[in-house]
Amino acid sequence: MNSRHSPHQPRTWLSQKLGLLAGVLLFAGLSPASEVQFEEANRLYEIGRFPEAAALYRAAATNGVSANLLFNLGNAHFKAGQLGQAMAAYQRSLRLDPRNPETRANLRFARDQANTQPPTLSLRQRWMHILSLGEWTALASMVFTLFLLLLTVRQLKPEAFVGKPLWIRLPSMGVVATALLLAMAASDYFSDSHVFVSVAKATVRNGPLEESPESFKATDGMELLVYDRIGDFLEIETRLGQKGWIHSGDVELLTP
């Protein structure tokens, strides 16, 4: 059987293959098992078995995360009375979907319950939090790719760019601007060393040893800033300015 090839077919084939390659490269390793676990965890949540639901959401999150999955994980922890873990899950969800009003509302509600205030953010940080790090990355990548494609076309058809200097200048300014914004967003993301106390009363000690004298108690949901780590202990500071060492098992990290 003869097949008729249109002139556009090779290009379509190439774009299909490139799309497939991009998909394989970026989403390799994600398992459909998460969907099943998510559904089952939702069922457990609906019948009030919150700790089991939280465990199953966590299991699903090992195959890949989504803002909705982390939101539900936060809800399950909240309902199970684990404020710190709930707040950490909401915060992680907001990292993926920072404009989600429901996640923001639940985090605010959990903070109210824990009687803590959010960390004070600068104007720049607030502005940077409009987009997630993934969105900043995609934006910068898009602008950079567009810029490079324009440069490529200029090499192939220089006559098309004669008298049109803005065709290159504007995208180049866009590349610089988005690269700077991406660098700031990445810096904020990777330097964020907040943790949440995840047990009812965590002992904060003077030193990084079990034998170190107790300094004060931190309550569930309290947000702490981490400065250092020695063995199983994290050097932390509370919003009150109190410093000490807390066992890493007593806090929930934002990085899974």
Q: Least distance to other proteins from the beta carbon of 95, Å?
A: 8
Report helix, strand or coil for 233.
Answer: strand
- Give the DSSP H/E element, type plus range, for residue 143: helix 133-156
Structure tokens at 77: 């922890």
**Is residue 33 within the footprint of other proteins (CB under 8 A)?**
no
Nearer to other proteins, 18 or 177 (CB): 18
By CB under 8 A, the residues from 83 to 112 that bind other proteins are 94, 96, 98, 102, 104-112
CA R_g for the chain? 24
Between helix 33-46 and helix 67-79 the angle, nearest 10°, is 30
**Is residue 162 within the footprint of other proteins (CB under 8 A)?**
no
Total site size for other proteins, rule CB under 8 A: 75
DSSP structure class, residue 82: -
Q: Least distance to other proteins from the beta carbon of 4, Å?
A: 29
By CB under 8 A, the residues from 13 to 32 that bind other proteins are 18, 21-22, 25-30
**Is residue 49 within the footprint of other proteins (CB under 8 A)?**
no
Nearer to other proteins, 75 or 198 (CB): 75
**Is residue 172 within the footprint of other proteins (CB under 8 A)?**
no
Q: Site mask, other proteins, residues 190-209, x = CB under 8 A?
A: ----------------x---
Quick one: which of 117, 105, 121 has its CA closest to 192?
A: 121
Nearer to other proteins, 146 or 173 (CB): 146
Cβ atoms of 119 and 188 within 8 Å: the answer is no
Q: Least distance to other proteins from the beta carbon of 179, Å?
A: 11
* Distance (Å, whole) CA 101 – CA 170: 34
28 CB-near residues (< 8 Å, 6+ apart): none
**Is residue 167 within the footprint of other proteins (CB under 8 A)?**
no
